[in-house]
Amino acid sequence: MSELNLNEDQQDCLQEIINVAMGQASDQLARYLDTFVYLKVPSIEQVSTLSLIETINKNEKSVAVVSQGFFGYEGIRGEALLMYQPKDSDRLADLLGYEPDELSVEEQIIDLSSILTTTFLNVFAKQIDNQMSYSAPRLLAGSQTAISDHLAQQSFNWDLALKVKITYQVTDYSFNCDMVLLIPESAINNIKAVIDRILEEF
């Protein structure tokens, strides 16, 4: 387990890359959505299968989770989970610039997830001279019980993952959501190699 852990330098470097990416992403999002988007300083930690389920369960009020896979060069890959609370969906259509009757709440949530994920990861990828591709976003489940059921039923083929959690806040629309990037065990060494290369270049 410990050999997968990022050392202090690696952790700082990843944090810095993410910070820069967050700044640029927030700027792009603000221009597209025409309102300020705040991204809260991310938490980076290693999680086990079990603790992931617990974190999601602890987030009791979350009603929707959207998953979108991402994959780039040098074996950088993972899954982004976007988590929403019930009150957050009220003015989503408005925020996205759609008429509420043009699209269902599910579609609004999926659309926004895709925008948040791809915007952030595109700038993140650029920071590490990479380029991301994405799978289509999918609504994993629409209600809390369904989400824990869904996760509990999975026989995960990973034990550990690197977890980066970023909270998005759109204060004008009193909207919050969490983006959790999960990089599976098999890709952690790949991202460490990329970080080490960047550290050497300094």
> Site residues (CB under 8 A) for another protein?
28-29, 31-32, 96-99, 102-104, 106-107, 110-111, 114-115, 118-119, 122, 133-134, 136-139
Q: What is the CA radius of gyration of the chain?
A: 17
Residue 95 or 187 with smaller CB distance to another protein: 95
Two structure tokens written together for 180: 């959790």
- Residue closer to another protein, measured from CB, 47 or 112: 112
Instruction: Provide, rounded to whole angstroms, the least separation between the CB of residue 115 and another protein.
Output: 6
Q: Give whichever of 4 and 115 is closer to another protein, judged by the CB atom.
A: 115
CB nearer to another protein: give 80 or 160.
80
CA distances from residue 175 to 80, 86, 132, 138 in whole angstroms, order as listed: 19, 10, 27, 21
- Helices 185-201 and 8-33, packing angle to 10 deg: 90
Using DSSP's 3-state secondary structure scheme, residue 72 falls into coil
Joined together, the tokens standing for residue 17 give: 């890359």
Q: Which residue has the tokens 């026989």?
A: 155
Task: Please provide residue 98's backbone torsions phi and psi, each rounded to the nearest 5 degrees.
Answer: -110, 160
Closest distance of CB 75 from another protein, Å? 21
The least distance separating another protein from the CB of residue 126, rounded to whole angstroms, comes to 10
Q: How far is the CB of 28 from another protein (least distance, A)?
A: 6
C-alpha 18 chain-centroid distance: 12
Q: Are 61 and 68 in contact (CB under 8 A)?
A: no
User: Closer CB to another protein, residue 20 or residue 198?
Assistant: 20
In this structure, are residues 134 and 68 in contact, taking their beta carbons and an 8 Å threshold? yes
CB of residue 87 to another protein, shortest distance in Å? 19
